[in-house]
Amino acid sequence: MKRKILALLAAASLVLTACGGNRRINIPVPKTDEEIKASAEDAWEMTIDTQIPEELQAQPHPAADSFAGGTGTEEDPYQIATADQLARLAELVNQDQFGENGEEVKAAAAASYVLTADIDMNDLTDFDTWTEQAPEYLWIPVGVRYDYTLTDTSQATQLASFEGHFDGQGHTIRGLYIVSAYYNTEASQQPYYGLFGLVDGVVENVTVTDSLYRFLTPAELHPVGGIVANVNSGSRVENCTSGVDIVAQAATGIGGVAGELSGGELRGCTFDGSIRTEGKIYYAGGIVSEGSGGTIAQCTAKGSFEFTQEPVLALGGVAGELMDNTEGDLLLEDCVNEMDLNGAGIVSNLASFHDGITLRGCVNKGNVKAGGIAASLSVHQDQSTGTAGTVLVENCVNEGTVQGEGSQGGIAAEVNLYDAGTSLTVTGCRNEGTVTSTDGAAGIFGALNLRNASTVQITGCENTGSVSSTGYCAGGVISNLFVQNDVTGTDVLIQNCRNSGQVNGGNYGAAGILSREMGVLGTSVSGNTVRLDGCENTGTVTGLMPIVYAGGIAGYLPFDGGSTTVTGCSNTGTVQLLCDGPIDRPDDGRNYPQGVIAGIVACTEESVKVQDCTNTGSIDIPQDIADITYTDDLLGCTFAYDGTEPVLGMFQIRDGKAIF
């Protein structure tokens, strides 16, 4: 995962003997602790004080001498019925696994436990004032990794992870209080924060609520999660609910349920708490901050985010950033976001470098600023193995409002396929919400960028929401499709997609399916194919004059890198041009339409084929701008090239054809 790591350089003087003489190589002098701290303060834009104010200090909860019953086996788990017995679990696990009692520690960490009652770890009478006045007891997470309660961080001891089975049996834990001013820039010495810290086992069927986790220094490289800090490969967190309030000065990553997913499973979990930071935060998600491989399924986010500064990298209702890894695929399935947030509805950054990511059946119901389902979806090649990434997105739905700058989409704001052999398959996705942007708005993808030879299939997708761009293009399915100029061998299929929503283009293009296709203009590159097949528009498509291309199916298709075909498509919706001010025709003697409008495709390059398409929708042009537009039932106009530059609109109209 991308991390902001401040490395402390080792230093020494190295003397080598070479060519019969001595040569001294100067090694950089190591930074002092003061220099490291100053650098960190500059990066976080805050003063880092590792002292906890007296009013926020608390003592660890006393631990019981024994559990309520059980022997710790799967058949006869240890029974936990009181706060001091829960503290006993943490005390047993959080010992030095390499110390004198190492075998006992490992046995405790691998044992089975059950809750037999609801537990209050503190008196909750004054819970609302805990940010100013600490309760009596501090919580030390089970499997805390490094002991964050030590004032001398250089003496922090590595503790055991939890490798056993904890079953809450539907009970609730209240009153957890964590406060930390721990700050250590060594990546290998980071505490883990949550009910549990590092988990290599199973945690299930428990609710944690009315609890406060407070971080007075940047939680840098410290995974923070309401239930579990880190879910490792082979581990599982299931049917857990987090109603925790997490308050940080600044943070690398915070997850409402889990801080980080490292190949494990998060299933049936819910976030209903709050995450707040006063300064920067790099990754945040209602369920998990970030993840590499694993499964997130049947999870729901319905808490709240509050950030004084905007997240720098990734903010998602369910997850901040997710990717696959060399050890396994990533599955994000049947998750729901109900929060309003200044990020993406489900996941902010979704990236495939290996064998695959599947994003299936997810629903966004919140009002968001960066993609209804995802803000950025990217597909790469693993340069070390040559494995090309693959992404499958199916049956995802956006119901919320998407409103933001740049490209915006009901399913994804921006999609990038970077390397040869990568593939993206999208099927059965639907946008029902309003999508508004300043530059490229669409019901499915705001921008689809193909930067190398890739395969893209988008089938059976539908937009029913209103789509509007105030400054550029708008499309019912895709706003902008871009193929990089030196790419050959790309294949794009947009098949059986439908739009019934209102599409309002800016001052360039508007279309029911694909607004604008660009790339390899006037070059000799070939072998790329783009196909629109069996698509349908029934919504109203509106283009704003001047310089606009409005089409029932497609707007502007100047693609000269292979073949583009539009086949079997139909439009029954109204296609119209609007003008909000006077338009001046160039006084150069040429027929220069500033608006092109058609029932199927507004404007194409000569090589584009439009076949077996029908239009029964009306084409509406205000009378006062009719003399500076060109219209046709199926195809508005074509254009050619003058050298390597496109000649746009410089033609005469004879018998319904554009003559150059």
CATH of the domain at 585: 2.160.20
- Report yes or no on 337 lying in a domain: no
Per-residue DSSP letter, 625: G
Pair (200, 91) in one structural domain: yes
Cα gap 74→110, rounded to integer Å? 10
* Selection from 180, 273, 265 nearest residue 226 by Cα: 273
| Half-sphere exposure in the Cβ direction for 87 (13 Å, CA) | 19
Q: Can you give the length of the chain in residues?
A: 660
User: What amino acid occupies position 651?
Assistant: F
**What distance in Å separates the CA atoms of residue 185 and residue 10, rounded to the nearest whole number?**
14
Whether 565 and 443 share a structural domain: yes
320 in a structural domain: no
**Which residues share a beta bridge with 333?**
297, 360
- Is there a contact between 513 and 494 (Cβ–Cβ < 8 Å)? yes
**Looking at the structure, do residues 444 and 299 belong to the same domain, yes or no?**
no
What letter does residue 80 receive in the DSSP assignment?
Answer: E
Residues 92 and 231 reside in one and the same domain:
yes
Mark whether 434 and 295 lie in a shared domain: no
In a domain, 325, yes or no: no
Contact between residue 233 and residue 327 where contact means Cβ atoms under 8 Å apart:
yes
Report, as ranges of residue numbers, the positions in the chain whose pLDDT lies below 50.
Answer: 1-26, 520-524, 588-592, 641-660
CA 291 – CA 294 distance, rounded (Å)? 8
Same domain, 147 and 256: yes
In the chain, the amino acid numbered 432 is: E
Specify if 363 maps to a domain.
no
- Say yes or no: 407 and 308 in one domain: no
Global pTM reads 0.90
Please, which residues have CB within 8 angstroms of residue 139's CB and are 6 or more apart in sequence?
60, 61, 90, 121, 176, 177, 178, 195, 211
Place of tokens 């100053």: 38
Question: Does the residue 349 lie in any domain?
Answer: no
Question: Alpha-carbon distance 121 to 88, whole Å?
Answer: 12
Claim to verify: residue 116 and residue 242 sit in the same structural domain: yes
Strand 228-232 vs strand 503-504: parallel, antiparallel, or unpaired? unpaired
Element (H, E) at 516: strand 514-519
H or E segment to which residue 88 belongs: helix 83-93
d(CA 352, CA 358): 10
SS3 271: strand
Q: Which residues touch 102 (CB under 8 Å, ≥6 apart)?
A: 96
CA distance 198 to 237: 12
Contact 568, 522 (CB under 8 A): no
Structural domain includes residue 118: yes
Q: Are 464 and 496 in contact (CB under 8 A)?
A: no
Residue 229, domain extent: 1-312
Number of domains the chain contains: 2
**What does the pLDDT read at residue 499?**
98
Answer whether residue 359 is part of any domain.
Answer: no
- Residue 639: per-residue pLDDT: 63
**307 and 410 in one domain?**
no
Query: Hey, is 616 helix, strand or coil?
Result: coil
Which of 255, 288, 312 is at the close of a domain? 312
Q: Name the residue among 565, 573, 590, 569 with its Cα closest to residue 653.
A: 590
Closest CA to 368 of 277, 291, 276, 436: 436
Q: Are residues 300 and 413 in the same domain?
A: no
Q: Is the peptide bond before 622 cis (omega within 30 degrees of 0)?
A: no
Of 291, 312, 333, the position where a domain reaches its end is: 312
Question: Of 312, 343, 361, which residue is a domain's last?
Answer: 312
Q: Give the model's pLDDT for residue 640.
A: 55
Residue 643: what pLDDT? Answer: 44
Residue 319 belongs to some domain of the structure: no
Q: Which of 337, 304, 144 has its CA nearest to residue 223?
A: 144
Angle of CA points 392, 515, 388, to nearest 5°: 25
Asked if 335 and 287 count as a contact pair (C-beta separation under 8 A), the reply is yes
State the Cα–Cα distance between residues 347 and 640, nearest whole angstrom.
42
Residues 300 and 408 in one domain: no
